[in-house]
C-alpha cells in the first residue's frame, strides 16, 4: 500500500510540474516577444533571467520526480514491461 501511495505522489507531482514547466516556457517566450515588440530591455532581462530561473527549477523537479517513479514497486514493474 505504501509503495502505491509513493507511486501516485511521484506520478502526480511529475505531471503537475511538467505542466507548470510547459506553461512557464510559454510565458518566457511570450514575455520576451512582447518585450522585443515594446522595446523594453528590462522586460527582456526579467523574462530571460528571473522567470527562466523559476522555469528551470520546475523542470529539474519534474525530472527528479519522474526519476523517482522508477524506484517504486509499480515503477519497476512498468519499466520491465517497457523493456520487453
The answer to whether the beta carbons of residues 48 and 18 sit under 8 Å apart is no
pLDDT confidence of residue 35: 95
pLDDT < 50 positions in the chain:
none
Q: pTM value?
A: 0.80
Provide the 10 A C-beta neighbour count for residue 48.
14
pLDDT confidence of residue 36: 96
- CA nearest to 23, candidates 77, 71, 59, 64: 59
pLDDT confidence of residue 1: 52
In terms of DSSP H, where are the helices of 39-83?
A: 41-48, 50-69, 73-83
pLDDT confidence of residue 3: 63
Dist CA 40 CA 33 (whole Å): 10
For the record, the C-alpha cell of 19 comes out as 505542466
Amino acid at each position: 500500500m505504501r509503495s502505491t501511495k509513493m507511486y501516485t505522489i511521484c506520478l502526480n507531482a511529475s505531471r503537475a510540474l511538467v505542466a507548470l514547466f510547459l506553461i512557464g516556457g510559454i510565458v518566457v517566450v511570450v514575455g520576451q516577444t512582447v518585450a522585443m515588440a515594446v522595446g523594453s530591455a528590462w522586460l527582456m532581462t526579467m523574462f530571460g533571467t528571473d522567470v527562466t530561473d523559476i522555469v528551470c527549477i520546475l523542470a529539474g523537479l519534474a525530472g527528479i520526480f519522474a526519476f523517482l517513479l522508477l524506484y517504486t514497486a509499480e515503477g519497476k514493474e512498468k519499466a520491465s514491461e517497457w523493456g520487453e
